[in-house]
Chain A
Amino acid sequence: GAGVSQSPSNKVTEKGKDVELRCDPISGHTALYWYRQSLGQGLEFLIYFQGNSAPDKSGLPSDRFSAERTGGSVSTLTIQRTQQEDSAVYLCASSFTFINRDTTSGNTIYFGEGSWLTVV
Chain B
Amino acid sequence: RKEVEQDPGPFNVPEGATVAFNCTYSNSASQSFFWYRQDCRKEPKLLMSVYSSGNEDGRFTAQLNRASQYISLLIRDSKLSDSATYLCVVRVTGFQKLVFGTGTRLLVSP
A residues touching B (Cβ–Cβ < 8 Å)? 31, 33, 35, 41-43, 45, 48, 50, 55-56, 59, 91, 97-98, 100, 102-106, 108-114
Contacts and interface: CB of A to CB of B under 8 A. Distances in A.
B96 A97 contact: yes
Contacts of A33: 96-98
Contact of B87 (A43, A105, A110, A112): A43
A43 B51 contact: no
Interface centre among A41, A43, A50, A102 (most CB of B within 10 A): A43
Interface of B: 31-32, 34, 42-46, 49, 51-52, 87, 91, 93-103
Contacts, number: 61
Per DSSP, chain B at the interface is loop
B41 to A, nearest CB: 8
